[in-house]
Each structure stands twice: as C-alpha cells, then as structure tokens.
Structure 1
Amino acid sequence: TLASKIINEKESVPLKKKTVKSKGGDASHTFILSFSAMTSSSAPSRKALSKIACNRLQKELTEWQLNPPTGFRHKVTDNLQKWTIDVTGAPGTLYANETYQLQVEFPVNYPMEAPQVIFVPPAPSHPHIYSNGHICLDILYDSWSPAMTVSSVCISILSMLSSSPAKERPADNDRYVKNCKNGRSPKETRWWFHDDKA
C-alpha cells in the first residue's frame, strides 16, 4: 500500500458512544453495531442526511436486524449518520479473538458517495491499515459502488484481515500518519492501489 498527498482538511467530529445490547446469533466472529448520539453542539456544521440516504440506511439496518450475516451481532442507538462497529477476528487467522472498532460516517448523499470508514486506534497491525486507523481498501474510495452496503464493507474488511500473511504496518506508515494531523479524513488522500493482496 502506498498513500500520499493529503488534499484537504475536514473538521473531525468526536464520537459519543451509546449502545443498547441486543440478542442474537452465536458467532465465531462478531460485528457489534451502534449508532453514536450526536447533538447540534457537538457538530454544528454537519449537514443532515438526505431523505434518500436516511431511507437507504433504515433499509440496511432493517435487513441487518432481520437477516444478520452469519457470525455478526449488532447494537443500535438512534443516530443513522455515524456508526461504530466492533470487529473480532475470525478463528484460524492472525487476528483470531482480537477485537477492534470501526467508525463509519455517512455523507449526506450516501449511497452515491462512499462512507468514511476507519479503525478507532489502536488499529490492527496490517499492511493496509495505518496506525491512525486509516484503511487502504479500494472499495472505500475509487471502487465504491452505490450497490455496496455497510454489511458488504464489513465483510471485505474482515476478509482483508483474515488473508493477511503478517502483522505489520504499511511501509510509509510514519510519514502518512504525520501528514494526517488535525482530523484529516482518509477520503482526502490520493490512494494508489498497487496490489490486490492483503
């Protein structure tokens, strides 16, 4: 993975976590979903989701609750725009029984634009994951399609973790993280995807 040139800077919105435990499923690995509560004072410049985005996310949430992917568990609150997802590595992989947290933030025009997806530090040590939580995965950027869902993104990230041959950071980790201060988004990075390996 090679990441370079930070283009712009966005205001970082702090995550306020609130979860309610739900029943469901036995799993060898789990995704635990929660919506973070967000008030106008915590994000005064944030635009509301479009009606299309709200309807789409409500549909995704309903489908997840009715037919959750095998091995997934979720928790919910009342905010659709920012989700947190706990990911536990699959058995037989380098990340087996290790749990990490993803933060997923949806743009106003979702699903036409990809969500911002990062790991909340400490992020897993992986050749495509930077220590600040940014993920080098093409479907989160240039290869995003409106047909993709939160569930499909999670499955892709779990697959990326499961297929990793080593626990190590990208070669340019220190330089990239240094250039990403002040809450810059990974979507403001120009990514070069030069391999198809995890």
Structure 2
Amino acid sequence: MTSASASSRKALSKIATNRLQKELMEWQVNPPTGFKHKVTDNLQRWVIEVHGAPGTLYSNEVFQLQVDFPEHYPMEAPQVIFVPPAPLHPHIYSNGHICLDILYDSWSPAMTVSSVCISILSMLSSSPAKQRPADDERYVKNCRNGRSPKETRWWFHDDKV
C-alpha cells in the first residue's frame, strides 16, 4: 500500500466534510454542463460522468472521473483520475492519470470539484489530436502497484493542449 493510499483512507476532517456537503448541494442545484455526479453514499469518493463537448474530438463520448478527497480537503488537492478506458489525449495516461497543473502544483483551496471538472473538459476540448503522451508506456509501467498520480513529479511545459 502506498502512502497516498493509506492517507486517502483517513476519515475526512470536519472542514472537509462540511465543504464537500456544500459542494454536493451546489452541484445538485446547478451541475456544470457536461457532467453528472453518480450518486453513492461515499462522500470521500465521487464518480463523475464526463460528456465530451459538442464540436470537439470527444463529442458524443462519455468518460468517468474518480475523485478521491484527502482528509484535509480543500487545503490539499483531491486525487482525480479517469476510470479506464481513459480518453486518448496528450495529457492523459492510459491508466487514467491526468497531467494538469491545478491537480498538483497549482491547486488552490478556492477551487471546487466543479471548477476542476470544467478545467478537465476545457483541456479535452482544446486537444488537436487523439493520442497518448509520448512516455505513456514507461509512465504506466512505473505506476504499477497502485502508485498515486500525486506521487509523480509532473513537468508542466505544454499549455497549448
């Protein structure tokens, strides 16, 4: 078990629980366009359907995101991955890990699940080609045994996609 797996099993703090309940209520009233929260009784793990935006490479395609919230959310970013099969995209690995700075270095407690989802949909929508990252095979091989994407030292160098 990795350290990220162990820490994700810790119960949510009172602040995290209150924040997530508030976000969930807001989501039910005004969900972001193109997304559907799959209702479960687990506040610490959300499964969200992502519908590709019309007029993009991903139009009429549906994917699933898994969002795992750490004990100290929103002070710490959630872990967000695509449930395989992940979309073919230059910043999405075949194991579902997403190379997007707001999920790691640029996380802010002001961000919400909705704002993260909108950023992911924007990233998908702006892709000029359906392809895996150049280092997909090597990266996925190194992630065996349950390594969290939060344990990766991401290199954010491509802001075009």
Deviation at 1:10, TM superposition (A): 3.9
Question: Corresponding residue for 1:194?
Answer: 157
Query: How many Å separate the matches in 2 of 1:189 and 1:92?
Result: 33
**Identical pairs, percent:** 85
Distance change >3 Å, CA 115–CA 11, structure 1 → 2: closer
Larger Rg: 1
Q: Does 1:87 find its partner at 2:87? A: no
Count of aligned residue pairs for this structure pair? 160
Paired with 1:46 and 1:84, the residues of 2 have a C-alpha distance of 17
Q: Distance in 2 between matches of 1:145 and 1:104?
A: 16
- Structure 1 residues without counterparts, runs of 5 or longer: 1-7, 13-42
- 1:103-160 CA deviation, whole Å, 9 max, x = no partner? 0000000000000000011100000000000000000000000000000000000000
- Which residue number corresponds to residue 181 of structure 1? 144
Report SS of the residue matched to 1:164: coil
In structure 2, the gaps of 5 or more residues are: none
Give TM-score, length-normalised by structure 2.
0.93
| Corresponding residue for residue 38 of structure 1 | none
Amino acid at match of 1:9: T
Q: Which residue of the partner structure matches residue 126 of structure 2? A: 163
The equivalent position to 1:9 in structure 2, one of 2, 5, 22, is: 2
Partner in structure 1 of residue 9 of structure 2: 46
* In structure 1, C-alpha distance between the alignment counterparts of 2:66 and 2:32, rounded to whole Å: 19
Please, what TM-score do these two structures have when normalized by structure 1?
A: 0.77
Q: 2:88 aligns with which of 125, 140, 163?
A: 125
Residue 11 of structure 1, CA deviation = 6.7
1:55 aligned residue: 18
2:110 to 130, 138, 147: 147
Structure 1 residues 190 and 60: CA distance shift in structure 2, 3 A: same
**Runs of 4 or more above 2 Å deviation:** 8-12, 67-75
Helix, strand or coil for the counterpart of 1:101? Answer: strand
* Structure of higher RCO (CA pairs closer than 8 Å, 6+ residues apart): 1
Supply the RMSD in Å over aligned alpha carbons.
1.7
User: Could you say which structure has the higher helix fraction?
Assistant: 2
